[in-house]
Structure 1
Amino acid sequence: MAKNQPVKTVKPDDVLGDAEAKMQKALAGLHHELQTIRTGRANPGMLDRVSVDYHGTATNIKQVAIIAVPDARTITLAPYEKSLLGEIEKALQRADLGITPTNDGTVIRLNLPPLTEERRKDLTKQVKKHGEEAKVGVRNARREAADVIKKKEKDGLPKDDAKRLDDQLTKLTDKLTAEVDKIVLAKDNEILAK
């Protein structure tokens, strides 16, 4: 080994910590994706991906308007600058939320229609797809960590320690996979509730 190359040592707990961080990132991604899915109940999270042209710059809608939920089926947007009403309305139409914005001159209202049975089924399919993607992220993090453990074992990590780490990794994977299932089930129930 050359003198100038640092020796990289990875502690066993670092392997688990890194794997858990990657798994948690997959879980956070799932939460974010599910927040944007319309459940029939008004949720400002539906607007997370909507951008408005603010003086030539694409700006998140939450930075240019006060967003409120006065009741279960209505979202209101009151722009900080009245001149942005038209831009906000256009941005909402482009966002293809399945909701037509109503501009009364001071506030934009989004009235959520009740979900049809067919739309509910489509949404539950989307939720399951996002859940499956999160599970893939968890499994990929597990596989990467398992590869590191195997490499460490070849580099001299005792077999018992490698087995213990792998068992802990499996428990962590099972725990977070079950968490994904729980989140998906809760979102499905929210969508299917009438």
Structure 2
Amino acid sequence: MSTSQILKDAKAGMEKALENSKKEFAGIRSGKASPNMLDTIKVEAYGSFLPLNQVASVSAPEPRILLVTPFDKGQAKAIEKAIRESDLGLDPAHQNGIIRVPLPSMTEQRRKELVKILHKLAEDGKIAIRHARTDARDKIKKLDGVSEDEKKSAEKELQKVHDDEIAKLEALLKTKEAEVMAV
């Protein structure tokens, strides 16, 4: 394995961690309704727990309302229960096979709680990026037949990639934090 291959693998791992953080940030509620908000909800259906998007379609026809349309009308009660019991603090209403999920206006305290959650998710993303860097650094140090200068150069490049990915994550965090705190 060459240093360029190790760097390429490390960059892919770091980008994967960044994408994961992006998805988790999308699940945090900001001021307006987003179908992604319900992505983390699992529904008990057909004897197992399935992601909500596999048993229903979610749309946001208005800024403060989500519409959940079950693929199987018999699953409406289970979907409603899963949404109600999630930690999102939502109160769905079932009517004619469609579940309406009104989003309550957020208080200042709730916004601050969400910002804390965002910071925790961002820290998890940073840890994943650091793990990718550490693994790559260890592989570089163990390479045989490669000069010390080449190893040092690869480590510097690895640190630069790491710093770039952390900066991207910080930018994502700042954007989402501003979105959550906006009234």
TM-score by length of 1: 0.88
Secondary structure of 2:93's match?
strand
Which deviations, in whole Å up to 9, do the C-alpha atoms of 1:40-86 show, x marking residues without a partner?
Answer: 31111121122223232322221222211011111001222222222
Higher relative contact order (CA 8 A, sep 6+): 2
Mapped partners of 1:115, 1:49: distance in 2: 20
Q: Which has the larger radius of gyration?
A: 1
Aligned residue pair count:
183
Q: What is the distance in 2 between the residues matched to 1:105 and 1:175? A: 50
The 2-side partners of 1:88 and 1:129 are apart by 28
Aligned to 1:95: 86
Answering whether residue 7 of structure 2 is matched by residue 16 of structure 1, we say yes
1:40–1:113 Cα contact (<8 Å) kept: no
Shift of the 26–87 alpha-carbon distance from structure 1 to 2, 3 Å rule, reads same
2:49 corresponds to: 58
Partner of residue 20, structure 2: 29
Within-5 A mapping of 1:103-114: 103-114=94-105
1:177 aligns with 2:162: no
Could you say what the CA RMSD is over the residues aligned between the two structures, in angstroms?
1.4
Identify unmatched segments of 5+ residues in structure 1.
1-9
Question: Which residue does 1:6 correspond to in 2?
Answer: none
For residues 141-174 of structure 1, the C-alpha deviation after alignment (integer angstroms, 9 at most, x for no partner) is 112211222222xx33112211211111111011
Q: Name the SS for the 2:17 alignment partner.
A: helix
2:119 corresponds to 1:139: no
Query: Which portions of structure 1, spanning 4 or more consecutive aligned residues, are displaced by more than 6 angstroms?
Result: none
Conserved 8 A contact 1:40-1:112: no
Q: Tell me the secondary structure at the aligned position of residue 110 of structure 1.
A: strand
Q: What amino acid sits opposite 2:13 in the alignment?
A: K
SS at match of 1:132: helix
Write the deviation string for residues 73-123 of structure 1: whole angstroms up to 9, x where unpaired: 110012222222222111211223201001122311111011111111111
| Equivalent residue, structure 2, for 1:160 | 149
How many Å apart are 1:18 and its aligned residue? 1.4
TM-score computed with the length of structure 2 as normaliser:
0.93
